[in-house]
């Protein structure tokens, strides 16, 4: 049986802000196992969407942008939720693009398998581990995300940690999180405000 292609819910063909110092395209992968109350991409949460984009069309669009774009970022949803991610990243890498990943670290074991393909990672660390279930609705989400953090910190892959400041996060709370990350020698940590839900440009 042929492998299922990557399920894609959105595509942004050009961005200067989603991969540090590189011009990039962003592929929004469909599906996420968590249900954060402040999620700004709720249409990407179900494993299947009504308007999925065709993977081969995305590859053709990227081929046309060779020499103009530097990188492709796999975002979501949660990209690592899909088994097809590794093959898709390899195909994009074969076109000559650097590979970026935006992840919440839901699947540390799958993330480990992807490490050889990654040039840059933006990892959401939402809170201290014990506070995750109330945010994500998933019992072991805190352990999974922090295990992914430790894994990435053990590599040389450039890493940015992002934390969304949600309504339940007090200053005390945010400071405790920042302190913990600094103890782990995290070099790049960005606190970002909650955003309204958006659609992702789907041009194909
Ligand atoms: S992990 Fe990210 S994509 Fe998934 S529900 Fe939370 S904010 Fe949304």
pLDDT digits (tens, 9 = 90+) for 101-114: 999 999 999 999 99
Compute CA 53 distance to the chain's CA centroid, rounded to the nearest angstrom: 18
Quote the CA–CA distance of 157 and 127 in Å, as a whole number: 22
pLDDT in tens, 34-53: 999 889 899 999 999 889 99
Pocket lined around ligand 1, Cβ cut-off 6 Å: 32, 34-36, 39, 41, 45, 76-78, 104
Share of the chain above pLDDT 70, in %: 94
Name all domains of the chain by residue range, CATH numbers in brackets: 8-193 (3.20.20.70)
Q: pTM to 2 decimals?
A: 0.93
- How distant, in Å, are the alpha carbons of 29, 55, 156, 171, 196 from that of 101? 11, 17, 15, 29, 22
Closest residue CA from atom 3 of ligand 1: 77
Cβ neighbourhood burial of 144 (10 Å; 0-12, 13-18, 19+): buried
3-state secondary structure of 53: strand
pLDDT in tens, 127-185: 999 999 999 999 999 999 999 999 999 999 999 999 998 887 888 888 999 999 999 99
| Centre of ligand 1 from the C-alpha of residue 103, in Å | 9
Closest residue CA from atom 7 of ligand 1: 39
Average pLDDT over all residues of the chain:
92
Quote the CA–CA distance of 202 and 28 in Å, as a whole number: 9
Task: Count Cβ atoms below 10 Å from residue 111 Cβ, excluding itself.
Answer: 23
3-state secondary structure of 165: strand
- Residue 2's pLDDT band, with cuts at 50, 70 and 90, is low
| Centre of ligand 1 from the C-alpha of residue 134, in Å | 13
Ligand 1 atom index nearest CA of 33: 4
Ligand 1 atom index nearest CA of 35: 5
């Amino acid at each position: 049986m042929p492998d299922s292609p990557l399920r894609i819910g959105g595509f942004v063909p050009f961005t200067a802000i989603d991969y540090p110092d590189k011009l990039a395209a962003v592929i929004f992968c469909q599906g996420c196992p968590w249900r954060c109350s402040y999620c700004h991409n709720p249409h990407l949460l179900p494993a299947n969407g009504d308007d999925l984009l065709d993977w081969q069309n995305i590859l053709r669009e990227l081929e046309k942008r060779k020499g103009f774009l530097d990188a492709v970022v796999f975002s979501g949803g949660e990209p690592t939720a899909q088994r097809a991610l590794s093959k898709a990243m390899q195909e994009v890498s074969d076109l000559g693009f650097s590979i970026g990943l935006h992840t919440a670290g839901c699947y540390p074991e799958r993330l480990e398998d992807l490490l050889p393909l990654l040039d840059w990672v933006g990892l959401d660390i939402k809170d201290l581990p014990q506070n995750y279930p109330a945010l994500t609705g998933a019992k072991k989400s805190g352990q999974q995300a922090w295990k992914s953090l430790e894994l990435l910190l053990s590599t040389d892959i450039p890493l940015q940690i992002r934390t969304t400041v949600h309504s339940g996060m007090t200053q005390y709370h945010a400071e405790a999180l920042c302190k913990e990350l600094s103890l782990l020698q995290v070099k790049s940590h960005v606190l970002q405000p909650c955003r309204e839900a958006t659609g992702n440009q789907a041009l194909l």
